């Protein structure tokens, strides 16, 4: 399920997605059509642009938030041109924050990474664009102030949707060390020890809202 108002990009994305073995059940050009098409097709995942007709403001994002209010488990991947965390935070606040992704449009150029992120979101994961995360890293405010630089780094990678193994590989440390870091992060952010995946998402949310 694809919503993008630029014909050029829409066709390009359809080509890209079909090529990587995904079926685009419907491609629409504005927010109302998106809501209607989701009703009709019940897709596995929605990929939408932020800015769409009729107002060319953030209709696409709002449509996504509304869709998730109705069906909290519907995975949504939002493509955007804006690095600002406000947009990502609004999306992550919808539902419980799992099964959502916020990526800059630049990312569709990195085909493999993009498709990987798509599948992660479809499987209920949370993905935030590294660029957005990078900007957040500059902020040093409570409650993130208590985190060590290394822990912040780990949290940033969690936000990008990476698994413990992938993080360990990226930071060139053992997976056990990463587990310890994550444990510290969760304690410092005062997140109750319930369902593990869910806590990761909550950590990311804390991160974005800070």
Partner 1 sequence: MHMHSRNVWQAMSRPGFLLSAWPWRVTAYLLTGAVTGAAALVGIVTVAAVCGALAIVLVGLPLLIVVALSGIPVAGVERRRLRLIDRNPVSSRHQVPAAPGLWAWLNTRLREQATWRELGYALLFAGLLWPVDALAITVALLFPLSMVTTPLLMATVGDGREAKVLKQWTVTTWPTAFGVAVLGLLLMGLGAYVLGVTAGARSELARLLIASREGELGAKVVELARSRVRLVEAFEAERRRIERDLHDGAQQRLVALTMALGLARLDAPPGPLADQLTKAHEEAGKALAELRELIHGIHPKVLTDYGLQAAVADAADRCVVPVDVDFELPGRPPQAVESAAYFVVCEALTNVAKHSGADRAQVCGGHRDRRLFLEVRDDGCGGADASAGSGLTGLADRVSVLDGRLALTSPPGGPTLLRVEFPCELTKAADHSA
Least distance from C-beta 157 to partner 1, angstroms? 19
In terms of CB distance, is 81 or 197 closer to partner 1? 81
Nearest to 160 by CA among 104, 86, 84, 96: 104
- Residue 175 in contact with partner 1, rule: CB under 8 A: no
CB 8 within 8 A of CB 37: no
Determine the size of the site formed for partner 1 (CB under 8 A): 38
Number of alpha carbons in the 13 Å side-chain half-sphere of residue 183: 6
User: Does the footprint of partner 1 cover residue 109 (CB under 8 A)?
Assistant: yes
Note whether 8 binds partner 1 by CB under 8 A. Answer: yes
Torsion of CA 65, 71, 74, 76, to 10 degrees: -10
For residue 141, state whether it binds partner 1 (rule: CB under 8 A).
yes
Stretch of 13-21, 121-129, 148-156, 162-170 lying at the interface with partner 1 (CB under 8 A): 13-21
To the nearest whole angstrom, how small is the minimum distance from the Cβ of residue 143 to partner 1? Answer: 14
- Asked if 68 touches partner 1 (CB under 8 A), the answer is no
19, 41, 150, 169: residue in contact with partner 1 (rule CB under 8 A) = 19
CA-closest candidate to residue 55, choices 28, 30, 19, 22: 30
Q: Is there binding between residue 16 and partner 1 (CB under 8 A)?
A: yes
Tell me which residue of 3, 8, 1 sits closest to 24, measured CA to CA: 1
Q: Is 32 in the site for partner 1 (CB under 8 A)?
A: no
Rounded distance between C-alpha atoms, residue 74 and residue 42, angstroms: 9
Residue with tokens 């060319």: 56
Which residues have C-beta within 8 Å of that of residue 8, sequence separation ≥ 6? none
Separation of CA 30 from chain center:
21
Over the window 79 to 108, marking each residue x when it contacts partner 1 by CB under 8 A and - when it does not, the resulting string is --xxxxxxx--x-------------xxx-x
Is 36 one of the binding residues for partner 1 (CB under 8 A)? Answer: no
Phi, psi of 20 (to 5 degrees): -90, 20
Binding site for partner 1 (CB under 8 A): 6, 8-9, 12-13, 15-16, 19, 51, 56-58, 62, 65, 81-87, 90, 104-106, 108-112, 114, 131, 135-136, 138-141
């Amino acid at each position: 399920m694809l919503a993008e108002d630029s014909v050029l990009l829409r066709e390009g994305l359809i080509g890209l997605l079909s090529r990587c073995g995904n079926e685009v059940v419907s491609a629409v050009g504005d927010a109302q059509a998106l809501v209607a098409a989701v009703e009709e097709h019940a897709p596995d995942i929605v990929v939408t642009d932020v800015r769409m007709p009729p107002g060319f403001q953030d209709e696409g994002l709002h449509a996504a938030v509304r869709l998730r209010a109705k069906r909290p488990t519907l995975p949504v991947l939002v493509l955007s041109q804006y690095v600002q965390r406000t947009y990502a935070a609004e999306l992550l606040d919808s539902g419980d924050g799992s099964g959502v992704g916020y990526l800059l449009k630049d990312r569709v150029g990195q085909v493999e990474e993009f498709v990987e992120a798509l599948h992660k979101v479809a499987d209920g994961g949370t993905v935030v664009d590294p660029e957005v995360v990078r900007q957040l890293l500059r902020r040093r405010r409570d409650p993130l102030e208590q985190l060590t630089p290394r822990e912040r780094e780990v949290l940033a990678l969690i936000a990008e949707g990476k698994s413990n193994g992938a993080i360990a590989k990226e930071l060139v440390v053992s997976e056990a060390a990463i587990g310890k870091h994550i444990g510290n992060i969760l304690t410092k952010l005062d997140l109750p020890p319930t369902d593990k995946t869910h806590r990761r998402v909550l950590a990311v949310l804390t991160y974005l809202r800070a």
